[in-house]
């Protein structure tokens, strides 16, 4: 499990353990990742599975003899197993054939099989088909009888106009009464026949529903029992359960997501602590194709996931000297926005990269805070819209609530035009057309917040047009025009293989880290909500 690394005598060990949620891979991690990639490439028996995509991790550490090496891990399972000699074992092997998980999973599989049998049984299908046919046929006959009654009523009405004898009138009344009674009889007979068939169908449905409820209860109980087996260590040797860690994390659900504890990062730290290794640095990289809707690029390094790993790693890192989150440090710097336009109602500023639009969890340093300090007499000031912390450029501020409401309504009705400039990773990517339109619906990736994903089922409409300005071997300079305002819209539309397949340089969520995110809101055009004059404001792109 412990793989020794050849270290150049000039290579310095990091002073602190890297923050797994925001890091640049240490050279030792890069060397370890290269060795893992080389090993993976030899496993031709895994080729098909790995081509679909999987996250791998490396943990550079020091053993009791002072030797530097690394541990390797994969997220989830591989080739239907949790145990492979090159990689650390799972925190708990749920795939152990003799373990409670596999035994209960077999019981749940039996329930699934029984549900499938019932749903697809000839008896059930015959009853469902007969019920559907009887209902259609019965309704058609009753509708035809209603039409006949309507025609007969019209005929009787004509007869009544000239009929004077009592016998004729009584005959017409009896005919009308008979047809009404006949209609009720036919409706009653149809209902009785349908109820008889529904009762038979409901017997199947009730059994299926009872099995589904049993499956749900068994699955939940099994998941909770499984979580109880995950006792995660930290550098102080303290062990905590997964459910307890999630319960203490207010930003996460009380019930952990399925698969929690099976990611690479917890596996690596758990094995290191259990075997007396001192963690030095860690990194995780993606191998293979991107998952459906998500954006992962083969070979790129990624931070630990927020949805499953954040509550666990906050505990597992206790006792280690860990680097500060660089995003938090960036947000805390003394940024100052530059005023581009100002009148008694509005303020438009040029927000620097690394500054929040509004106060967030990581920092209170924001454009909102800056505006509140510089314009204390304003009944706002209210930030009308937002830019990502890493994005620079034009941001509109309203000095009172009424103007803010008017501006926000203009944004909602798409009456505000915005132009962004970005540098995209080139990589010889000639597939980006000179201009075009991208329509990819977006939805939050709840397990990997704040990431977004392409989702054609639950996503919200997102539309972007673009023009390429220039190309070099290193980057593509492009103009982007968002016609909707979804979170991370431009970043996902550029990075997605269904979009431009060219991430914005410096986009650590969907591409690779750089000195900054090379995305700038360069121009904004709108009609002033008070003066009704058209305004076009610009901020020169700083790159």
DSSP character string of 285-320: EEESSPPTTS---TT-EEPPPHHHHHHHHHHHTTTS
Where is the domain boundary, 226, 257, 280? 226
Give yes or no: residues 119 and 77 share one domain. Answer: no
Give yes or no: residues 160 and 246 share one domain. Answer: no
Give yes or no: residues 385 and 402 share one domain. Answer: yes
**In the predicted model, what is the mean pLDDT of the chain?**
91
Is 97 within a domain?
no
| Burial track 326-350 (b if 16+ CB lie within 10 A, e otherwise) | bbeebbeeebebeebeeeebbbbbb
Is 99 within a domain?
no
Is 98 within a domain?
no
Give yes or no: residues 315 and 400 share one domain. Answer: no
Give yes or no: residues 202 and 161 share one domain. Answer: yes
Give yes or no: residues 348 and 436 share one domain. Answer: no
Confidence at 336, pLDDT banded by 50, 70, 90: confident
Percent of the chain with pLDDT over 90: 72
Give yes or no: residues 423 and 409 share one domain. Answer: no
When divided into structural domains, the chain yields a total of 4
Give yes or no: residues 518 and 452 share one domain. Answer: yes
pLDDT for 4-34, tens place per residue? 988 877 778 899 999 999 899 999 999 999 9
pLDDT for 30-48, tens place per residue? 999 999 999 999 999 999 9
Give yes or no: residues 289 and 305 share one domain. Answer: yes
Given a cut of 80, is residue 427 above it in pLDDT? no
- 445 labelled catalytic: no
**Active-site residue (options: 152, 195, 202, 388):** 388
pTM: 0.74
| CATH code for position 347 | 3.30.2350.10
Q: Which helix (H) or strand (E) holds 232?
A: strand 231-233
Give yes or no: residues 478 and 532 share one domain. Answer: yes
Where is the domain boundary, 387, 413, 439? 413
User: CA 449 → CA 17, 374, 378, distances in Å?
Assistant: 23, 33, 34
Question: What residues pair up with 284 in beta bridges, in sequence order?
Answer: 57, 302
Give yes or no: residues 388 and 456 share one domain. Answer: no
Domain residues for the domain of 439 are: 416-543
Where is the domain boundary, 226, 242, 276? 226
Give yes or no: residues 217 and 114 share one domain. Answer: yes
Give the C-alpha separation, 413 to 424, whole Å: 29
Q: What's the per-residue H, E or C state across 124-144?
A: HHHHHHHHHHHHHHHHHHHHH
Is 436 within a domain?
yes
pLDDT for 340-354, tens place per residue? 999 999 999 999 998
């Amino acid at each position: 499990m412990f793989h020794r690394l050849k270290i150049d005598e000039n290579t310095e060990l990091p002073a602190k353990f890297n923050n797994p949620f925001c890091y640049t891979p240490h050279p030792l991690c890069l060397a370890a990742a290269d060795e893992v990639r080389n090993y993976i490439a030899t496993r031709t028996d895994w080729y098909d599975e790995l081509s679909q995509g999987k996250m791998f991790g490396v943990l550079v550490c020091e053993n009791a003899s002072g030797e530097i090496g690394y541990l390797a891990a994969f997220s989830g399972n591989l080739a239907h197993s949790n145990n492979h000699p090159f990689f650390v074992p799972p925190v708990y092997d749920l795939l152990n054939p003799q373990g409670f998980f596999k035994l209960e999973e077999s019981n749940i599989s039996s329930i699934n099989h029984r549900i499938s049998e019932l749903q697809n049984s000839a008896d059930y299908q015959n009853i469902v088909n007969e019920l559907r046919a009887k209902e259609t046929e019965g309704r058609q006959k009753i509708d035809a009888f209603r039409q006949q009654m309507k025609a007969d009523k019209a005929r009787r009405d004509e007869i009544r106009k000239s009929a004077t004898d009592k016998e004729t009138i009584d005959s017409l009344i009896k005919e009308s009464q008979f047809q009404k009674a006949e209609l009720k009889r036919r409706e009653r007979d149809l209902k009785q026949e349908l109820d008889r068939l529904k009762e038979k169908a409901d017997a199947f449905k009730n059994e299926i529903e009872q099995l589904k409820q049993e499956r749900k209860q068994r699955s939940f109980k099994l998941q909770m029992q499984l979580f109880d087996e995950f006792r995660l260590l930290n550098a102080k040797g303290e062990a905590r359960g997964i459910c307890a860690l999630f319960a203490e994390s207010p930003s996460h659900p009380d019930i952990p997501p399925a698969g929690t504890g099976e990611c690479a990062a917890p596996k690596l730290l758990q094995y290191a602590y259990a075997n007396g290794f001192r963690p030095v640095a860690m990194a995780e990289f993606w191998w293979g194709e991107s998952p459906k809707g998500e954006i992962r690029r083969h070979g790129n390094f990624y931070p630990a996931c927020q949805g499953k790993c954040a509550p666990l790693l906050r505990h597992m890192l206790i006792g280690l000297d860990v680097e500060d989150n660089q995003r938090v440090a960036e947000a805390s710097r003394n940024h100052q926005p530059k005023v581009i336009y100002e009148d008694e109602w509005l303020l438009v500023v040029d927000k620097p990269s690394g500054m929040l639009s509004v106060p967030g969890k990581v920092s209170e340093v924001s454009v909102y805070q800056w505006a509140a300090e510089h314009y204390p007499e304003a009944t706002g000031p209210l930030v009308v819209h937002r830019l990502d912390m890493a994005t620079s450029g034009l941001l509109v501020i309203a000095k009172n609530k009424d103007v803010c409401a008017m501006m926000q309504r203009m944004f909602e009705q798409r009456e505000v035009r915005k132009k962004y400039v970005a540098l995209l990773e080139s990589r010889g990517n000639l597939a980006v057309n000179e201009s075009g339109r991208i329509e990819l619906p977006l939805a939050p990736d709840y397990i990997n917040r704040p990431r977004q994903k392409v989702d054609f089922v639950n996503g919200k409409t997102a539309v972007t047009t673009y023009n390429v300005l220039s190309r070099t071997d290193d980057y593509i300079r492009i103009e982007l025009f968002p016609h909707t305002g979804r979170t991370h819209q431009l970043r996902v539309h550029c990075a997605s293989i269904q979009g431009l397949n060219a991430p914005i340089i410096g986009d650590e969520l969907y591409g690779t880290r750089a000195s900054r995110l090379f995305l700038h809101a360069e121009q904004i055009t709108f009609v002033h909500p008070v003066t009704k004059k058209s305004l076009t404001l610009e901020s020169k792109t700083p790159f």
